Structure 1
Amino acid sequence: MARTVSLPRTARSTARRRARRTLSVLAAAWLVLSLTPPPAHAALAEVYVALGDSAAAGPLVPNQIGPDYGCLRSDRNYPHLTARAIGASTLRDVTCSGAKTTDMYESQDTELGDVAPQLDALSQNTTLVTVQIGANDVGLTDFIEDCLNLLPPPIGDACNDDYNAGGQDQWRVATDALRPRLTALVSDIRARAPQARIFVVGYATYARQNGCYPRVPIIRADANYIRATLMYFNQMLAEQAASAGAGFIDLQTPSAGHDPCASPGVRWIEPYVPAAPAAPFHPNALGMRNFATIVTTAVTGAR
């Protein structure tokens, strides 16, 4: 028969204290583990929809892609490059050369057939939207080309006087008329994509102060008028984005010095006679790469 061994009183007290300490340590460890949050899951990849006109589409920038070939859309435009940079799970790039705000809602007629309304690309699972639109509504590209002047005054005529007849600047009038349409557009984007962060993208610098005649044949007064007009237009875009609760991405400020007057390899916007594959007064591949960096920084920093 086994004998029961009785510990001395002091030994029994020490054993009980050790047992209590062990239980206390285990309880504390359990409490810490129960209060520690589980490791955060990686952020879900973006479902990115790019809306806009030729400034976003990249006409003639290699490689032009389908299925909507009439949109003159490049696979090296800033939406594509941004999507890669942020690791988007899905890119729906429906930017289209010649697009106006009406083409967000209605089919757009291109030289190679109709394309669907751009807002049709939005869905409930869209998480990111960039929209660069409005220049064609007021005819800014035609305006710049209209100011080309192969012969300076007194033989050639300045164009800015034509747009200020009666003391009213018709470009500012057209720009202000666009304000409610842009606010409504952001609201309609949000209604179709309620989870999305929305960014309105501005336009780049198309004319530097005083121009660079004759390299770009726009005389000084007209270059300054174009510059002021674009600055006012971008200011309008920023104001309407803010009033609609959207972000605004400024391309004008960082593109200063990279306008059509700059030398090849420096400029982001091609002049009337391009030296790189791009439409006149539109971004080239270098411009698209830099715009993608700017857009990527904006959309990731705003998370």
Structure 2
Amino acid sequence: MRITRLLVAVFSAAMLVTTTTAAAASAADRFHHYVALGDSYTSGPFIPAQRFDPLGCGRSTANYPSVVSAGLHVGEFTDVSCAGADTTNLTRPQRVPFNGTNAPQLRALRLDTDLVTLGIGGNDFAVFGRLISTCPRLRAGDPAGNPCERHFTSNGVDTVKTAITTIEPRIEAALAAIHQRSPRARVLVVGYPRIAPESGYCPKVLPFANGDYAWLNRVERDLNQALEDAASHSAAGFVDTFGPSRGHDACARGGSAWINGKNQNVFAAAAYHPVKAGMAGVAAVVLKSLR
């Protein structure tokens, strides 16, 4: 009986190893060359460990593309995401700090590329940059109101929303170029995770006026909708990270935040950017969409 049990145990262990190896091989066979394109919400500035190719791109070895690549066991992984990139940097070189240059991101694509993720758009027309440079300084004058929303509204028109409508065709053009360079690739547009909570405020972390929290959420929803619409018009998939990041905004407590607040931490994350846990969370959403 003991010999029989031993043989069964050995056979079961062998089957487990074979199954696990086969699953990894299957994933590797499915995606041979994965290319990650995007801005700082993809690259992960200050999240350890930072890469040096170039350093100014703030490209982390723990960003969501790296986690996705490891999870899928892809044959070859190329990450050309770069902090500060907008859609023009997909086809043009990008100058970055420390005298570096990031080559046009689309150059990384090949005919045999079979998986592409694209996370970009927030830097076009300085949408995110204008918000984080303007809104916090307006809070003091009207902490309970919506001074930032009023600041960006001209003659009843929300100029940020207007700018977002012009981002969609840029994303569509980028996706057309991706499909042309890598016609057999599965292409995913990855949206932006939630920065502000659905309700409540945390001005010490996210120093927007109380009334501007709801507006910030609308800006993000509009931007993500533009990305989703562009994807749907371009034979690409869309990965919603705004919904899944509910409860993981910058105000979340107990280590559950996916987004850093106003205080830059050169050993963890840039201000108003994803932390390592946020990258892991986004990666999990991307992997779920692929599986």
Alpha-carbon separation, structure 2, partners of 1:269 and 1:182: 24
Which secondary structure does the structure 1 equivalent of 2:123 belong to? helix
Q: CA deviation at 1:210?
A: 4.5
Structure 2 match to 1:16: none
**Cα separation, partners in 2 of 1:156 and 1:236, compared to 1, 3 Å:** closer
Contact 2:144/2:211 (<8 A) preserved: no
Alpha-carbon separation, structure 2, partners of 1:237 and 1:78: 18
Structure 1 match to 2:255: 265
Where do 5+ consecutive residues of structure 2 fail to align?
1-24
Structure 1 match to 2:230: 240
Where do 5+ consecutive residues of structure 1 fail to align?
1-40
- Larger CA deviation: 279-288 vs 210-219: 210-219
- Larger CA deviation: 289-298 vs 82-91: 289-298
In the alignment, is residue 195 of structure 1 matched against residue 184 of structure 2? yes
Which secondary structure does the structure 2 equivalent of 1:130 belong to? strand
2:136 to 116, 123, 148: 148
Which secondary structure does the structure 2 equivalent of 1:206 belong to? coil
TM-score, normalised relative to structure 1: 0.81
Alpha-carbon separation, structure 2, partners of 1:45 and 1:147: 42
In the alignment, is residue 252 of structure 1 matched against residue 238 of structure 2? no
**Cα separation, partners in 2 of 1:78 and 1:157, compared to 1, 3 Å:** closer
1:134 to 97, 116, 121: 121
Alpha-carbon separation, structure 2, partners of 1:56 and 1:195: 23
Identical aligned pairs, as a percentage? 35
RMSD of aligned residue pairs (Cα, Å): 1.9
- Larger CA deviation: 161-170 vs 269-278: 269-278
In the alignment, is residue 123 of structure 1 matched against residue 114 of structure 2? no
TM-score, normalised relative to structure 2: 0.85
Contact 1:211/1:218 (<8 A) preserved: no
Structure 2 match to 1:282: 273
Tell me the alpha carbon deviations over residues 109-148 of structure 1, each in whole angstroms, 9 at most, x when there is no partner: 1112211100000001100000001100032322331211
Matches within 5 A, 1:1-303: 42=26, 43-112=29-98, 113-145=100-132, 146-149=134-137, 151=140, 153=142, 158-215=147-204, 216-274=206-264, 277-299=268-290, 301=291
The amino acid of 2:119's aligned partner reads Q
The runs of at least 4 aligned residues of structure 1 exceeding 6 Å deviation read: 154-157
Which secondary structure does the structure 1 equivalent of 2:106 belong to? helix
Alpha-carbon separation, structure 2, partners of 1:288 and 1:78: 5
User: Which has the greater radius of gyration?
Assistant: 1
Q: CA deviation at 1:153?
A: 2.0
Tell me the alpha carbon deviations over residues 5-41 of structure 1, each in whole angstroms, 9 at most, x when there is no partner: xxxxxxxxxxxxxxxxxxxxxxxxxxxxxxxxxxxx9
Tell me the alpha carbon deviations over residues 211-269 of structure 1, each in whole angstroms, 9 at most, x when there is no partner: 51433221221111111111011011101100111000001001011111112511000
